[in-house]
Amino acid sequence: MDALASDTFGPPLSAGPAKKGSKEGWIERTVMPANLALENTSRVSVGVLSLLWIAAVGLADYWTGYERSMMIFYLIPITLGTWFVGRSFGMFLAGLSVVTSIFTDIASGIPEVRYWNEAVGLSSYAIFVWLLARWRASLRQMDDRVRLRTADLQEEILERMRLEKEMTEVTERERRRLGHDLHDSLCQHLTGTALVAQVLQARLASNRSDDAVDARKLVGLIEEGIDLTRNLARGLFSPDLEQGGLAEALEGLAHNTQERTGISCEFHHNEESQIESCPAAVLTQLYRIAQEAVANVVKHARALRIVIELDASDGEITLNIFDDGAGLGEASETNGLGLKMMRHGADLIGASFSAARRNPKGTLISCVLPQGPRPGAKERDEI
């Protein structure tokens, strides 16, 4: 503790070695030396100010005569020197104050110097300096602990963000793999089965067999299975997103939703606006948000119309999904799993997300993504 008190303006503790070229390394090479030079200058300034203050108090002590003691006024420079320079300098100022007081009393014509009083004053100053230095040391130690814990917390947050990014990438990769398997394997297998069943139906029909009706039903069931499998595959991955981009994928989502559910689903996109090239993960998250929003409307809103809007202007991409259904309930915003998933997806790419009721009815889901450098996603990309 005493060592800390004597080095008040020492450099802060480091949480670990900074990487070359990193932001922390730049701070350590540029800002910290400048800050240390400023602190050293401050120590010198405080030291000079304390000495001048003692001289001024001594002069005032001489003018007022030895009948009036000015010992208490010496505490001000002693406090400044101890707090901002260190305990040793504070002890030096305490001794200098007592010596100055003795000389001013002698110069003002005191008949007899009361050395016992001066010794008591010096002892009082020494105790004061020691207590103040311990207090300063305790505060500095607390600051160092807070700094270290803050650095540990930042490392933990970065590690959690890195794991979150990896989990998202693994999840998306598995979704695509399952979607491709369903589309390329199971759908093809069912299509071949449907062709065989159609041939069997035609053969039974030519023979005027009563089983031809059952064969026709079998063909219909297989075709329904093909449609269900394709819808599952589209839910897991979007071929349009991989081939034609976000606008084409959202248009396909609107078309498939209307075809599958019978609910009017429209897609509007400003053709004049150009969406800057974004990472595939960003476009995928925007598509997932739209997909989840449309699925929520179909399941819960009892809507007759769904509108998907995509626009890129003023340096940001805006995705809006609104409907004319029942709207959000009072607890939907905080307890709805779908809304939590959409908000989490927006956070992953550094976008802002909002969900609100529309007047007179319906819900508006909005996601706004700044184009170019994204404040929330830049750190994740660098992990």
Domain ranges across the chain: 2-166, 263-383
Q: How many CB atoms lie within 10 A of CB 290?
A: 25
- Out of 93-97, 117-121, 199-203, the most confident range is 93-97
More confident residue, 382 or 290: 290
**142-147 contacts, C-beta under 8 A, 24 or more apart:** 144/12, 144/13, 147/12, 147/13, 147/15
Amino acid at position 379, single letter: E
Tell me what pLDDT residue 214 has. 86
Residues 6+ apart with CB under 8 A from 102: 113, 118
Task: Reply yes or no on whether the pLDDT at 155 is more than 50.
Answer: yes
Amino acid at position 47, single letter: G
Tell me what pLDDT residue 141 has. 92
What's the chain's average pLDDT? 80
More confident residue, 163 or 180: 163
Mean pLDDT for 174-199 is: 84
Mean pLDDT for 344-363 is: 88
Mean pLDDT for 292-300 is: 89
Tell me what pLDDT residue 382 has. 44
More confident residue, 371 or 140: 140
Domain 263-383 classified CATH 3.40.50.150? Answer: no
CA 265 to chain CA centroid, Å, is 35
> Tens digit of pLDDT for each residue in 76-117?
999 988 988 889 999 999 999 999 988 888 888 887 777 888
Contact yes or no for 270/303 (Cβ under 8 A): no
Q: Is the pTM of this model over 0.75?
A: no
Q: Which helix (H) or strand (E) holds 368?
A: strand 363-370
Task: Reply yes or no on whether the pLDDT at 271 is more than 80.
Answer: no
* Burial bucket for residue 159 (CB in 10 Å: 0-12, 13-18, 19+): exposed
